């Protein structure tokens, strides 16, 4: 993945400007974000992931116990993609998680 000034690689280069090996990394990052989001929000269970038969299922962090940084990374990712409905669900999840851990 290309290195840049930002902690979030998606902020630096558009998908169209990436070289083939960088595009592959970008797609892996996107897949990891999507998989993690779906597991955190509860849209998909780990059993459903395993039943897909895919050999490669990347995630960021621990999707069963996401850190504040994991949630913030997901929020930045979906804000960049202008997928605001997902941002709302992540903020609701984060608020619910905070309230249950206090």
Q: Give the residue numbers spanning the domain of 18.
A: 9-101
Whether 58 is covered by a domain: the verdict is: yes
Whether 1 is covered by a domain: the verdict is: no
Flag whether the pTM goes above 0.85.
no
Whether 17 is covered by a domain: the verdict is: yes
Whether 4 is covered by a domain: the verdict is: no
Residues 54, 52: Cα–Cα separation, whole Å: 5
Residues 91, 98: Cα–Cα separation, whole Å: 10
Q: What is the pLDDT of residue 17?
A: 52
Whether 26 is covered by a domain: the verdict is: yes
Number of domain units in the chain: 1
- pLDDT means over runs of 10, the chain (102 residues): 34 47 78 94 89 85 91 96 96 75 56
Whether 2 is covered by a domain: the verdict is: no
Q: What is the pLDDT of residue 64?
A: 86
Whether 28 is covered by a domain: the verdict is: yes
Q: What is the pLDDT of residue 101?
A: 61
Q: What are phi and psi of 12, to 5 degrees?
A: -95, -45
Q: What is the pLDDT of residue 12?
A: 41
Q: What is the pLDDT of residue 85?
A: 97
Residues 89, 45: Cα–Cα separation, whole Å: 17
């Amino acid at each position: 993945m290309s290195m840049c000034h930002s902690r979030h690689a998606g902020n630096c280069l558009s998908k169209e400007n990436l070289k083939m090996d960088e595009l592959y990394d970008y797609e892996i990052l996107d897949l990891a974000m999507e998989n993690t989001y779906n597991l955190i929000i509860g849209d998909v269970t780990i059993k459903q992931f395993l039943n897909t038969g895919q050999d490669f299922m990347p995630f960021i962090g621990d999707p069963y116990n996401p850190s504040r940084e994991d949630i913030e990374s997901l929020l930045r990712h979906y804000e960049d993609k202008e997928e605001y409905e997902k941002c709302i669900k992540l903020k609701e999840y984060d608020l619910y998680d905070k309230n249950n851990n206090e």
